[in-house]
Amino acid sequence: MKGSVEESQARIAPEVTEIIQSSSHEPVAVVYQLRGSSGQRVPPADEMTEMVGAILGKLREMAPNLPLRHNIFKNLGSFVLLAPPEMHQQVLKEPEIRAAVLNQKKTA
């Protein structure tokens, strides 16, 4: 299926899949790890801001008035994004995404 979450072959935690498929519109924090290029496990730190900016730019085009809170972990090749589930669904379609996990697990 074109554009599906599976297409990017990212490792997605089951909790993330559950949340993005829910009917909730409450913002949730998801940590994304980006793919490195040319044999690197993660992107170089100096490329992280540009890579994340490109992903967030696409989201802002879709929903210009939606506040997107994020933090980039340059040396880890990852970033956290606080946004509604439908925005995370779009992020997971990006080929740069290697993995996605919830920032905090639900407590009982």
Backbone angles phi, psi at 89, to 5 degrees: -60, -40
Q: Report the amino acid identity of residue 93.
A: K
The alpha carbons of the chain give a radius of gyration, in whole angstroms, of: 13
pLDDT score recorded for residue 39: 74
CA atoms within 13 A on the CB side of 31: 11
Amino acid 14: pLDDT: 95
Q: Which residue has the tokens 């299926």?
A: 1
Categorise residue 55: left if φ over 0, alpha if ψ from -120 to 50, beta otherwise: alpha
pLDDT tens per residue across span 8-52: 578 999 999 999 898 888 999 999 999 988 778 889 999 999 999
18 or 107, higher pLDDT: 18
What pLDDT, on a 0 to 100 scale, did the predictor assign at position 66? 84
Torsion sign (Cα): 98, 16, 21, 23: negative
Cβ–Cβ < 8 Å for 48, 72: yes
Question: What are the residue ranges spanned by the domains of the chain?
Answer: 5-102
pLDDT for res 3: 43
What pLDDT is stored for residue 61 in this prediction? 94
pLDDT tens by residue, 65-106: 888 899 999 999 999 999 999 999 999 999 999 999 999 866
Amino acid 2: pLDDT:
40
| Closest-CA residue to 10 (of 45, 53, 55, 72) | 55
Q: How confident is the model at residue 7 (pLDDT cuts 50, 70, 90)?
A: very low
